[in-house]
């Protein structure tokens, strides 16, 4: 296995602080009611990720939208009858919705919501990486720009990456993988596929630490450890279950344990507690001083999805225009092919 010379993990200075926007209960209730009305007036469907504000997750479900992982968000957005989608997550999720449904208008509470994996995989450098390994099948994680997707053969999410790479391995194909090095390494270990990895990382998952997790296990010896595979290998080794956000939620319901230590963004705790009200969920420990994400176990870009921003995008036309996903149609067509391949693989 070869690695790129440059490490594409972001440094602390490149990552915004998590915006802890405190809104009192009364204002939250007012905003939620206005958002319900705004969605109705625009005829829009709200599609939200498990990592965003818990009230936004609830609003998505209450109003006929969806809260889920990026794979199901993509599928739901494509199949939704609404001509307007409001995507609450990070920008690649809005772009994916637009790529799959170019005829729909797609807005986000803020287009500032990025992803360290996307930022750490610039299209021009990725094109050079691809050109240097022209004999390989290009598989990219959904957490990439439309330009990078357009350069790929397959797009995958953490829900289907293992299966798709195992399928390619069965076909005798060699894989060029980007951008998450930890997920790539995990898939390579599981499938034994011949993979060359880009060297990006998620600022949230990279901060989970194995030794601190082992120490926590001593305090909670009966707890099961649930880990997202964007985490480092040493953390994955401690896990009782490894998988996407949906797989983590499934495991929490199926495992007999009453207590779980969870190594993924803490936004997922809302759904975990909703579905398992008698079980206890504890955040896995992060790095402490010097951690890229300030040891918060919460994505600073997901945190930009605030109720006020969602309300504003529904009510304020100028703000809405500024936060619409617009894509060059030809780029969209090229980026759609590997996404369609992923969705078709899932329904085989």
Residues facing 86 on adjacent strands: 46, 107
Number of residues that bind ligand SF4 (CB under 6 A): 13
Residue 160: which H helix or E strand, with range? none
- Is the Cβ of residue 151 or residue 302 nearer to ligand SF4 in the bound state? 302
Contact predicate 115/143, CB 8 Å? yes
Interface mask (CB under 6 A) for ligand SF4, residues 140-179, using x and -?
Answer: ---x------------------------------------
Q: Which segment (104-112, 181-189, 298-306, 330-338) binds ligand SF4 by CB under 6 A? A: 298-306
Smallest distance, Å, CB 52 to ligand SF4?
A: 10
Stretch that binds ligand SF4, among 115-123, 147-155, 165-173, 214-222 (CB under 6 A): 115-123
Nearer to ligand SF4, 193 or 202 (CB): 202
Can residue 108 be called a binding residue for ligand SF4 (CB under 6 A)?
A: no
Q: Exposed e or buried b for every residue in 8-45, given b needs 16+ CB within 10 A?
A: bbbeeeebeebeeeeeeeeeeeebbebbeebbeebebb
Looking at the Cβ atoms of 187 and 299, the one nearer to ligand SF4 is 299
The stretch near ligand SF4 (CB under 6 A) out of 37-45, 199-207, 210-218, 309-317 is 199-207
Q: At its nearest, how many Å lie between ligand SF4 and the CB of residue 119?
A: 9
d(CA 12, CA 9): 10
Does 204 interact with ligand SF4 (rule: CB under 6 A)? yes
Residues 219-278 that bind ligand SF4 (CB under 6 A): 230, 265
By CB under 6 A, residue 302 contacts ligand SF4: yes
Binding part of the chain for ligand SF4, among 80-88, 202-210, 314-322, 331-339 by CB under 6 A, reads 202-210
The interface with ligand SF4 within residues 10-49 (CB under 6 A) comprises: none
Question: Shortest approach of ligand SF4 to residue 204 CB, angstroms?
Answer: 4
Question: Closer to ligand SF4 at the Cβ: 82 or 141?
Answer: 141
With beta carbons less than 8 A apart as the criterion, state whether 140 and 118 touch. Answer: no
Of 99 and 304, the one with the shorter C-beta distance to ligand SF4 is: 304
180 touches 141 (CB < 8 A): yes
Beta strands in 90-135 (DSSP E): 105-107
Output the smallest distance, CB 329 to ligand SF4, in A: 26
Q: Which of 128, 63, 52 has its CA nearest to residue 94?
A: 52
Give the pair of three-digit tokens for residue 166: 């195992």
Contact (CB, 8 A) for 161 and 184: no
| Nearest distance, CB of residue 295 and ligand SF4, angstroms | 14
Apex 18 CA angle, 77 and 95, nearest 5 = 25
Q: Give the residue with the Cβ less far from ligand SF4, 49 or 136.
A: 49
Distance between CA atoms of residues 146 and 136, nearest Å: 20
Sign of CA dihedral 211, 215, 221, 222: negative
Which parts of the chain are beta strand (E)? 44-49, 66-68, 84-88, 105-107, 137-141, 154-156, 175-178, 195-197, 224-227, 241-242, 259-263, 280-283
Residues making contact with ligand SF4 (CB under 6 A): 90, 115-117, 143, 202-204, 230, 265, 299, 301-302
């Amino acid at each position: 296995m070869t690695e790129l010379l440059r490490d594409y993990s972001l440094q602390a200075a490149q990552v915004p602080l998590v915006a802890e926007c405190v809104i009192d209960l009364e204002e939250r209730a007012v905003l939620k009611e206005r958002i319900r009305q705004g969605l109705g007036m625009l005829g829009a469907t709200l599609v939200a990720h498990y990592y965003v504000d818990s009230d936004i997750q609830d609003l998505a479900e209450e109003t006929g939208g969806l809260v889920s992982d990026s794979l199901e968000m993509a599928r739901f957005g494509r199949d939704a009858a609404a001509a307007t989608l409001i995507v609450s997550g990070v920008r690649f999720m809005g772009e994916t919705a637009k790529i799959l449904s170019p005829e729909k208008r797609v807005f986000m509470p803020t287009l500032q919501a990025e992803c360290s994996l996307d930022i750490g995989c610039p299209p021009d450098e990725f094109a050079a990486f691809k050109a240097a390994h022209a004999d390989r099948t290009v598989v990219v994680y959904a957490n990439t720009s439309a330009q990078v997707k357009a350069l790929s053969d397959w797009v995958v999410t953490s829900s289907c990456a293992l299966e798709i790479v195992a399928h390619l391995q069965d076909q005798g194909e060699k894989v060029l993988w980007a951008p998450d090095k930890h997920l790539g390494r995990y898939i390579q270990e599981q499938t034994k596929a011949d993979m060359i990895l880009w060297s990006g990382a998620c600022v949230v998952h990279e901060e989970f630490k194995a030794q601190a997790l082992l120490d926590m296990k001593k305090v909670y010896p009966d707890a099961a450890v649930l880990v997202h595979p964007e985490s480092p290998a040493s953390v994955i080794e401690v896990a009782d279950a490894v998988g996407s956000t949906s797989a983590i939620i499934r495991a929490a319901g199926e495992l007999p344990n009453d207590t779980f230590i969870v190594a993924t963004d803490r936004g997922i705790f809302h759904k975990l507690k909703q579905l398992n009200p008698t079980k206890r969920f504890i955040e896995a420990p992060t790095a402490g001083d010097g951690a890229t994400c300030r040891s918060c176990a919460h994505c600073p870009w997901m945190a930009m999805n605030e109720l006020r921003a969602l309300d504003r995008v529904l009510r304020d036309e100028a703000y809405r225009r500024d936060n619409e996903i617009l894509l060059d149609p030809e780029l969209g067509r090229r980026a759609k092919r590997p996404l369609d391949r992923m969705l078709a693989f899932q329904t085989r």
